[in-house]
Amino acid sequence: MMIMIITLASALGLLVVYKLIRFTQKGGTFTLITKNVSYLYFQGRLVYPKLYEDAVRYIALLINSASNRSHFPKDRIKQLVLSCSNEDWFILCAEYTWEYSMSCGGPSPDSLPHELVTWYFGKIRQTISWVENQVRCGKTRKNYENVLRGMSQMEVIEIVLELEKF
């Protein structure tokens, strides 16, 4: 009986280790930040097709960082968006993902070996491409769409006016 319990516990332990290794190989929680903000961005482009690019980016970052507002006040989000204004989504998303990760106790790209940083950038790019394809194929997240559509017109206008000042 004791051998069966030990065998079962060992098998469950190996399963957990396998799942953890697979999760880490996919990028772990690091890529969840990229995935969530990219869904908000690509779905935001669908919800607000006439809104200019920086405003949609700002809205995506604003919604995604709501639980981390102490590190991402509106001024910091605006600064990030405007600093990457002429860049593609990958540049802004990568910078935001690294900063969000560091604000939660994760490593900075400066503290990691170059090969690992390159690997993470590859994972960010893969995740963005995957999300973009999902949204393009109509596989959106209904709760994200509800949040995006739930913003008042006044909030959206304030964001546009704030970004146009610069």
- How many Å is the Cα radius of gyration of the chain? 19
Q: What pLDDT score was predicted for residue 38?
A: 93
- How do residues 135-149 score in pLDDT, each as one tens digit? 999 888 888 888 888
Residue 68's closest CA among 94, 109, 40, 97?
A: 97
**Is the per-residue pLDDT at 18 higher than 60?**
no
Residue 2 lies in a domain: no
Predicted confidence band at 43 (pLDDT cuts at 50, 70, 90)? very high
Contact between 135 and 39 (Cβ < 8 Å): yes
The pLDDT of residue 17 is above 60: no
Q: Quick count: other Cβ atoms within 10 Å of Cβ 49?
A: 8
Residue 15 within any structural domain of the chain: no
Tell whether the model's pLDDT for residue 61 goes beyond 70: yes
**Predicted confidence (pLDDT) per residue in 148-164, tens digit:** 888 888 888 888 888 77
d(CA 40, CA 43) in angstroms, rounded, equals: 5
Question: Residue 133: what pLDDT?
Answer: 94
* Tokens coding 111: 């503290």
DSSP for residue 106: P
Task: List CB contacts of 40: < 8 A, sequence separation 6 or more.
Answer: 59, 60, 63, 64, 144, 147, 148
Q: In this predicted model, what pLDDT tens digit does every residue of 80-136 receive, in sequence order?
A: 999 998 899 999 999 998 888 888 777 788 888 898 889 889 989 999 999 999 999
Nearest partner of 42 among 83, 89, 76, 100, judged by Cα: 89
pLDDT at position 23 is: 46
Number of domains in the chain: 1
pLDDT at 155: 85
Taken in order 113, 98, 94, 126, is the CA torsion positive or negative? Answer: positive
**pLDDT value of position 60:** 93
In the block, tokens 């190996």 appear at 14
Please give the residue range of the domain that contains residue 95. Answer: 28-164
